[in-house]
A and B are shown apart, each in its own frame.
Chain A
């Protein structure tokens, strides 16, 4: 099945390269060979965390002329929020690396491809 798929693809590529009927669709300057790696997918850009806590703390600072002792409550809540955010990020990244939901992660795919690379020298 893979072989049939492979030959069909090669026929299509050779048709695209040919100059028989009209101008060739493909004019490759490098050989049409896949790389031994997969590009890293961009994670979705997240939101800024703990902005409300930060703004509360800064308002408190503005009121009290940047004296730290009077703003200890806001500072404690800010630290807690930061800790929670860090733990959430860690959990999310862990969940991404372990539970792939049917798909390989790009890093894992690269590791596998590197183990069985394309042959560029005749054996």
Chain B
């Protein structure tokens, strides 16, 4: 469908040009924010990359969103987490909470590092970004359950999940757990840092929730053949 639409609309430019919107003519290409791609010298480009560059020189390109930067600190996973934490479009508060969380995690880990004996110092991870990513990885479920109707009844069938769905579930569980199941008067960054550090060492409620999902899937493995994809 998109290919046929692109064929029809090739020489057309709209009278009012859309910039920084999210709905574009499928003719527009995605922007490339990473600097490394542009630093590759001409000689080292593969034929596909050369073709891509030539295509980009003739086609219009979508405007990059505000959340995408070419800096070293741009982390798509972290940006997604910030967006999921955001309420009522208040990105400043959400980003502030995440920054405080990372600082808090670093402080705790550095304290642990200085108190630990020499032998154990190498094992303690102090980089909060590494901790965040590893904790999220530890929270991602491997298979999920889908409600499939067969013969009038609904069965919980174990299904493989896409990478996006797994990442989303891990983040959602982390945020809901921090919002609901913690003490009322602790601040969000404190709750998040506690939960992330626990997930990093594979303890805590989120990892427990993941294991419970796995157990449910394992108990329902007989219904795996009810899938048709």
Q: Residues of A with Cβ closer than 8 Å to B?
A: 45-51, 54-55, 57-58, 61-62, 66, 68, 75, 78, 82, 85-86, 89, 107
Query: Assuming the A-B contacts A54-B143, A58-B221, are A47 and B160 also in contact, with contact meaning beta carbons closer than 8 angstroms in the complex?
Result: no
A48 touches B227 (CB 8 A): yes
A50 touches B229 (CB 8 A): no
Q: Is B64 an interface residue (CB 8 A)?
A: no
B224 touches A54 (CB 8 A): yes
Bound-complex Cα distance A51 to B214 (A): 15
- Contact string against A for B residues 148-178, beta-carbon threshold 8 Å, 1 for contact and 0 otherwise: 0000000000101010000000000000000
Q: Residues of B with Cβ closer than 8 Å to A?
A: 1, 138, 142-143, 158, 160, 162, 202, 211, 214-215, 217-218, 221, 224-229
Bound-complex Cα distance A40 to B34 (A): 43
What 3 pairs across the A-B complex have the smallest Cβ distances? A48-B227, A82-B160, A58-B218
A62: which B residues are within 8 A, CB to CB? 218
Bound-complex Cα distance A57 to B143 (A): 10
State the total of A-B contacts with C-beta under 8 angstroms.
44
Closest Cβ–Cβ distance, residue B146 to chain A (whole Å) = 11
A51: which B residues are within 8 A, CB to CB? 224-225
Query: Assuming the A-B contacts A54-B160, A75-B142, are A48 and B214 also in contact, with contact meaning beta carbons closer than 8 angstroms in the complex?
Result: no
A78 touches B214 (CB 8 A): no
Query: Assuming the A-B contacts A54-B158, A55-B221, A61-B218, are A48 and B211 also in contact, with contact meaning beta carbons closer than 8 angstroms in the complex?
Result: no
Chain B, Cβ-Cβ closest to A54: B224
A57: which B residues are within 8 A, CB to CB? 142
Bound-complex Cα distance A61 to B218 (A): 8
Query: Assuming the A-B contacts A51-B224, A54-B158, A89-B229, are A66 and B143 also in contact, with contact meaning beta carbons closer than 8 angstroms in the complex?
Result: no
B229 touches A46 (CB 8 A): yes
Pairs across A and B, CB under 8 Å, 14 listed: A46-B228, A47-B228, A48-B226, A49-B227, A50-B160, A51-B225, A54-B160, A54-B221, A55-B224, A62-B218, A66-B215, A68-B202, A82-B160, A85-B160
Bound-complex Cα distance A67 to B77 (A): 25
Chain A, Cβ-Cβ closest to B226: A48
Bound-complex Cα distance A57 to B158 (A): 12
Query: Assuming the A-B contacts A50-B160, A78-B160, are A58 and B217 also in contact, with contact meaning beta carbons closer than 8 angstroms in the complex?
Result: yes
Bound-complex Cα distance A50 to B158 (A): 11
Additional A-B contacts beyond A46-B228, A57-B142, A62-B218 (5; CB < 8 A): A48-B228, A58-B221, A61-B214, A61-B218, A75-B142
Chain B, Cβ-Cβ closest to A46: B228
Bound-complex Cα distance A68 to B137 (A): 11
Bound-complex Cα distance A66 to B217 (A): 12
Bound-complex Cα distance A49 to B229 (A): 6
Bound-complex Cα distance A78 to B159 (A): 11
Query: Out of B214, B217, B228, which one reaches A45, CB within 8 Å?
Result: B228
A66 touches B142 (CB 8 A): no
B225 touches A48 (CB 8 A): yes
B217: which A residues are within 8 A, CB to CB? 58
